[in-house]
């Protein structure tokens, strides 16, 4: 039963994500993965494994029991937080796609156990982040390592149970006219997603801190040894550790059973909640066509968090620097400068999101009085606005620690715009005014990385010679941006050959 539900869930996820559904090859690949639990779970495990290997390196270079116990305390937070996060976030989505509807009409006493099993399948791959460290511990201290494995699974179970409690009290409702509240919830999910990504990096820094301050951490752990995750430090005291494990299992096992019953009851008969709405008089507005395209994209992104998460990927790049700056209280001009170039470069994959966001609306767009260059510039703005805001925020943070970093402000605007204009000029460099969606392939994205990287290298040449040449570098960037704008607005979008299909034969109609 769980296998069937897993396949149906991932089929629905693929079908509802425009980034996948609008790309035939990606859709077939997603379906292939969805049909095999081993393949789907295995791919996720491979995604988590690099983080696990990085964290395991800390365990390799120490044999001190106090340090190892303290490291296990920090490490055990990962499965706990991941299980709670996935359970709380994914449950509503799993129920919304309707895969549990058939079970409502069958004589199933506790259908929520299948929901729990399905969620645990989604959570299980995260263990790849902690098990390498536990295996290193087991190689040094077998009994402690075995208890460490039990505690890792216990953390996953505790997080899953607490996530179900949150779902039981806050999520199992039918909401009518969600309005702006739904957009706020979508934004909250996106923020939580990036905080979760940042958690892996925070944990890596935390391990180094624990190794350097093990005695201080040990005093805190000893004071609260009953509470999870501090109870994990008992791995070198087998009897106490087993007693604590048994106590947690009995208490939370009973609570888990009660919550499953309550959750299934609310799935069968969910509460109906209607949010108050202020009815306002409709008023038509005129807006610049270019801005209208950009605003339209962001409204769709807010309604489809899966697309916005992919679109906001450049944020992930600055996480290590942010964490390092807050930890060390220092962020210099030299550290900010390469990050601005990286943010600009990694805005290139955003083209995939801003183009596929059109979905099945392409034919409708062609009926509007919208020129191709207006559509292209609108997509440039959609693609560049988040990296620009991110770069400005980074320069602001750098200026707080080092006032000299303020001279980097032009880069925050120039580099994302150059990357976006270059990318869109490449994809829409065909003759004719008909709007179409280029047949995006990874080879095109890789080529754009190389092309944009080459342009950035030209801009960076004066900086390689001396940091005093910042203004010369910025002037070069400004000239390149003007050339790109000229090519789109004044020079026309000339044919570029075979790279992009046009009309019925050369463009993919969606």
Read off the pLDDT of each residue in 464-493 and give the average, rounded to a whole number. Answer: 84
Least trusted range by pLDDT, from 260-269, 334-343, 380-389: 260-269
Predicted local confidence at residue 458, as pLDDT: 93
Predicted confidence (pLDDT) at residue 382 exceeds the cutoff of 70: yes
Read off the pLDDT of each residue in 436-461 and give the average, rounded to a whole number. Answer: 79
Which residues 6+ apart lie within 8 Å of 326 measured at CB? none
Q: How confident is the model at residue 367 (pLDDT cuts 50, 70, 90)?
A: confident
Q: How confident is the model at residue 417 (pLDDT cuts 50, 70, 90)?
A: very high
Q: How many CB atoms lie within 10 A of CB 166?
A: 14
Read off the pLDDT of each residue in 31-45 and give the average, rounded to a whole number. Answer: 75
- For the chain, domain boundaries: 36-273, 290-506
Nearest to 134 by CA among 144, 125, 122: 144
48-75 pLDDT, tens per residue? Answer: 788 788 778 777 877 877 777 777 877 8
Residue with tokens 């280029």: 438
Q: How many CB atoms lie within 10 A of CB 64?
A: 11
Nearest to 82 by CA among 195, 244, 224: 195
Q: How confident is the model at residue 455 (pLDDT cuts 50, 70, 90)?
A: very high
Percent of the chain with pLDDT over 90: 5
Predicted local confidence at residue 438, as pLDDT: 65
71-113 pLDDT, tens per residue? Answer: 787 788 788 877 877 777 677 667 666 666 666 666 666 666 7
Which residues 6+ apart lie within 8 Å of 111 measured at CB? 100, 103, 104, 264, 267
Radius of gyration of the chain (CA): 26
Predicted confidence (pLDDT) at residue 480 exceeds the cutoff of 90: yes
Least trusted range by pLDDT, from 314-318, 389-393, 492-496: 492-496
């Amino acid at each position: 039963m769980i296998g069937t539900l897993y396949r149906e869930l991932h089929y629905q996820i693929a079908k509802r994500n425009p980034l996948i559904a609008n790309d035939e090859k990606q859709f077939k690949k997603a379906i292939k993965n969805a049909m095999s639990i081993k393949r789907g779970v295995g791919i996720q495990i491979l995604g988590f494994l690099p983080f696990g290997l990085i964290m395991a390196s800390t365990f390799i270079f120490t044999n001190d029991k106090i340090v190892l116990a303290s490291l296990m305390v920090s490490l055990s937070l990962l499965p706990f937080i991941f299980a709670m996060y996935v359970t709380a976030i994914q449950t509503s989505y799993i129920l919304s796609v309707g895969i549990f509807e058939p079970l409502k009409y069958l004589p199933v006493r506790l259908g929520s156990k299948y929901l729990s099993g399905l969620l645990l399948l989604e959570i299980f791959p995260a263990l790849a982040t902690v098990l390498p460290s536990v295996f290193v511990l087991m190689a040094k201290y077998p009994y402690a390592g075995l208890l460490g494995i039990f505690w890792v699974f216990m953390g996953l179970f505790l997080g899953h149970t607490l996530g179900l409690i949150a779902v039981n009290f806050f999520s199992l409702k039918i909401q009518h006219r969600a309005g702006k509240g739904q957009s706020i919830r979508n934004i909250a999910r996106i923020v939580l997603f990036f905080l979760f990504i940042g958690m892996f990096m925070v944990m890596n820094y935390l391990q180094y801190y624990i190794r350097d301050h093990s005695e201080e951490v040990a005093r805190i752990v000893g004071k609260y040894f009953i509470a999870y995750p501090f109870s994990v430090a008992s791995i070198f005291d087998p009897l106490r550790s087993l007693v604590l494990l048994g106590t947690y299992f009995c208490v939370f096992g009973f609570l888990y059973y009660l919550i499953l019953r309550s959750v299934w009851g609310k799935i069968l008969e969910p509460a109906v909640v209607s949010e108050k709405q202020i009815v306002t008089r409709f008023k038509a507005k005129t807006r610049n066509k270019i801005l209208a395209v950009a605003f339209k994209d962001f409204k769709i992104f807010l309604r489809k968090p899966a697309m916005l998460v992919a679109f906001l990927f450049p944020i992930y790049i600055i996480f290590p620097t942010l964490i390092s700056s807050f930890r060390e209280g220092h962020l210099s001009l030299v550290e900010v400068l390469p990050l601005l170039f990286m943010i600009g470069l990694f805005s290139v994959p955003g083209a995939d999101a801003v183009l596929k966001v059109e979905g099945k609306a392409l034919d409708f767009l062609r009926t509007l009085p919208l020129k191709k260059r207006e559509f292209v510039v609108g997509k440039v703005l959609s693609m560049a606005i988040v990296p620009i805001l991110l770069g400005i925020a980074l320069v602001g943070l750098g200026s707080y620690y080092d006032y000299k970093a303020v001279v980097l402000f032009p880069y925050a605007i120039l580099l994302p715009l150059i990357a976006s204009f270059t990318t869109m000029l490449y994809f829409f460099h065909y003759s004719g005014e008909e709007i179409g969606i280029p047949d995006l392939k990874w080879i095109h994205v890789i080529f754009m990385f190389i092309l944009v990287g080459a342009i950035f290298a030209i801009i960076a040449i004066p900086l390689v010679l001396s940091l005093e040449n910042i203004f010369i570098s910025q002037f070069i960037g400004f000239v390149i941006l003007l050339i790109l704008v000229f090519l789109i607005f004044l020079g026309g979008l000339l044919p570029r050959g075979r790279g992009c299909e046009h009309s019925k034969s050369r463009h993919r109609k969606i």
